Amino acid sequence: MRTLPDIKLVPASVPSAATFLEAAEALTKHSLPTIAVVGNQQRVVGLFGGEDLLRGLFPGYLAELRHTAFAADDPGVLAERARAVSSQPVEKYMRKPVTVDVEASAIHVAERFLHCDFAALAVVEDERFVGMLNRADFCRAVLRQT
């Protein structure tokens, strides 16, 4: 198996001081499921993905509910919430990071993907952020070897 730098890594990150809106724009720009939130010396302090976007854009109680087919949208309320969350710090919505070392084996990377909720992981070298590894790109690289 080739090492991770040989697979496409995307340097998609925002600084920990970024806002929710800046993180959301970075996520859309890179077309990745997850981006890194980096602090001092490029250390990964969190990951921010689609699920975090949803948690910010919609009320927190939704995660506690399972039956909402009856609910109707109120565009005014949704827009108001989106406005309010935009300026919030991304740190409030990011989740604990899952990282893999740039020298990690494919077996280890696959195990990390299977045991976390992220579809892209942060790759680090000497604990500094190198880039995001998309699960689809990783699987494609494994397939190409056959």
Chain residues that interact with other proteins, rule: CB under 8 A? 59-72, 74, 77
Q: Which residues pair with 128 in a beta bridge?
A: 125
Strand 99-101 versus strand 34-38 pairing type: unpaired
Distance CA 79, CA 104 (A): 43
State how far the Cα of 51 lies from the Cα of 70, in Å rounded to an integer: 22
Which residue's CB is nearer to other proteins, number 60 or number 75? Answer: 60
In whole angstroms, the minimum distance from the beta carbon of 67 to other proteins comes to 4
* Separation CA 48–CA 37 (nearest Å): 7
Residue 115 Cβ vs other proteins, minimum distance, rounded to whole Å: 17
Strand-strand pairing, 120-125 and 99-101: parallel
- Segment holding 134, helix H or strand E: strand 128-134
Measured from the CB atom, the residue of 53 and 106 that comes closer to other proteins is 53
Minimum CB distance to other proteins, residue 96 (Å): 17
Q: Which is nearer to other proteins, 65 or 143 (CB)?
A: 65
Identify which of residues 11 and 59 has a Cβ nearer to other proteins in the complex. Answer: 59
| Residue pointed to by tokens 């077309």 | 31
Q: Could you give the residue ranges of the DSSP H alpha helices within the chain?
A: 20-30, 50-57, 75-86, 106-114, 135-144
Least separation, in Å, of the C-beta of 99 and other proteins?
26
Rank residues 76 and 145 by Cβ distance to other proteins and give the closer one.
Answer: 76
Minimum distance, C-beta of residue 14 to other proteins, in the bound complex (Å)? 23
